[in-house]
């Protein structure tokens, strides 16, 4: 090979390798961004909505107790309504996000548990204005057990969702590291090849 041809080849080869590494890195960055967006949109969103169910369940229980203690407390009545609306909105979003996943059936089963709790709450709100003792007894014997059952279901799915989110995060992180290592290896090996040519 003539010296000029060899010089051109030795100049073009590194340039081609660097372009390849750059394109690989760009593809890896795009893929990593897509994976991260998917992680936030799905895994983390499911965890967040389950946490919201738990928080609003607690909030509605506290508001209900305030109503039993003082049926004329309009703020407690409003708090109960707000908590129930927030719960229902979070649940509707959660149902959509888990469609077609392993969590779909369990999340679907929560609806009946929630309806039982809501029915108990409605009964207690009505009783609170009539008879404190009866309302307090219903709170203890009906609403509290209904909430405990629902809470257990929510917490069980929350634990599973957190584990799935962690596994997904690790998978995306490992994939990103492999892409970076492949691009680095391409540049390194290409440089060594040029120097040995």
Q: Is the dihedral of CA 78, 81, 83, 86 positive or negative?
A: negative
Q: Is 71 helix (H, G, I), strand (E, B) or coil?
A: coil
Q: Euclidean distance between the first and final Cα of the chain, in Å?
A: 12
- Taking residues 132-137, what's their average pLDDT? 95
pTM: predicted TM-score of the whole model, two decimal places: 0.71
**Residues 117, 147 contacting (CB under 8 angstroms):** yes
CA distances from 163 to 36, 128, 184 (A): 17, 42, 32
Summary mean pLDDT of the chain:
83
Q: Residues 101-127: what's their mean pLDDT?
A: 95
Q: Where do we find the tokens 């390798």?
A: 17
pLDDT surpasses 50 at 36: no
- pLDDT per residue as tens digits for the range 74-92: 999 999 999 999 999 999 9
What is the percentage of the chain residues whose pLDDT exceeds 70? 65
């Amino acid at each position: 090979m003539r010296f000029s041809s060899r010089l051109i080849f030795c100049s073009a080869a590194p340039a081609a390798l660097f372009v390849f590494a750059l394109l690989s890195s760009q593809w890896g960055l795009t893929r990593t961004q897509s994976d991260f967006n998917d992680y936030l949109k799905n895994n983390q969103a499911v965890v967040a909505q389950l946490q919201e169910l738990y928080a609003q369940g607690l909030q509605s229980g506290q508001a209900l107790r305030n109503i039993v203690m003082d049926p004329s407390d309009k703020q407690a009545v409003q708090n109960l309504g707000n908590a129930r609306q927030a719960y229902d909105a979070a649940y509707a979003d959660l149902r959509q996000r888990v469609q077609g996943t392993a969590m779909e059936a369990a999340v679907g089963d929560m609806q009946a548990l929630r309806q039982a709790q809501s029915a108990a709450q409605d009964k207690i709100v009505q009783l609170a204005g009539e008879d404190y003792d009866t309302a307090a007894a219903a709170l203890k014997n009906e609403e509290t057990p209904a909430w405990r059952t629902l809470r257990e279901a929510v917490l069980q799915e929350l634990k599973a969702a957190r584990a799935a989110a962690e596994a997904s995060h690790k998978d995306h992180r490992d994939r990103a590291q492999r892409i970076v290592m492949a691009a680095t290896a391409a540049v390194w090996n290409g440089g060594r090849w040029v120097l040995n040519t």
